[in-house]
Amino acid sequence: MDKSLPSYFGRVGSKSRLKDKIYRMMPPDFKTFVEPYVGGGAVMLGYKFKPGQKIVINDLDSELMKNYKIMKKGVRITPAILARYNNQSAAFQQKILDSPSSGDIGYLVKSLVKYNTTFGNMGKGKVYRPRDLTNKLKKLDEYKDKLKHVTLLNRNAISVINKYNNAGTFLYLDPPYENSKDLYKKGGMDFEQLASTLRKFKGKFLLSINDSRNIRKVFNGFKFRTTTDGGTGNAGLGEGTRKELFIKNY
């Protein structure tokens, strides 16, 4: 039986607080689940897939996708490794962040520090809030099992949507929000291109995005639903709330 897991990496715009609402809106009968902007993967990792359902995740961030590949392959976590990283001081974790990584475990640990301890999980600047790294490392086998049959891609999202354009596919899309290009390595979004691509999509899709007059205009003709919780999203940081817009074609 598939297991529900939390995100392994903190990311700007995480859907951890919105995923239960997303699950209630997802169709139950899809054959293939595709997430073209997977990020921290809160929705995919937390969902309990049925036997036979195909899962595809993609992100243009090659560093992120390398981590998913390491997790899928698996790393043997020994007591010596746990002892090596059993230090929650800011100085120790800052040293990890500032030093070159070595091997799969070193790469994974550096990314854990980068995306779980920096301000807003942005992966920039200094260690802001040290974390217990061993807690994540101990659970790595669970993530390996979750990702066992998952297809991992590092492509342009539009090409992925077109590749899986069929009636049995369900797309969950969580693209960068408006005015958030500086928060990502490859920032900026062509929403008109995305809307045009989705108008030709044969399956079902659910898209989460910031609510604005421009977004509603670009995606005119689809179904809209609003909510006001889930954190501050891609365009902000902290623990507050934001206006979130769900867009779908079913």
Residue 53 near residue 30, CB atoms below 8 Å:
yes
Q: Model confidence at 16, in pLDDT bands (50, 70, 90)? A: confident
pLDDT in tens, 205-214: 999 999 999 9
DSSP-H helix ranges across the chain: 19-25, 42-46, 62-73, 79-84, 90-98, 103-116, 133-138, 140-146, 157-163, 191-199, 213-218
Look at residue 13 in the predicted model and tell me its pLDDT. 77
Mean pLDDT along residues 163-185: 83
Mean pLDDT along residues 156-165: 98
Dist CA 70 CA 160 (whole Å): 22
Dist CA 43 CA 22 (whole Å): 8
pTM, full prediction: 0.90
pLDDT in tens, 113-149: 999 999 888 888 899 999 999 999 999 999 999 999 9
Phi, psi of 32 (to 5 degrees): -130, 130
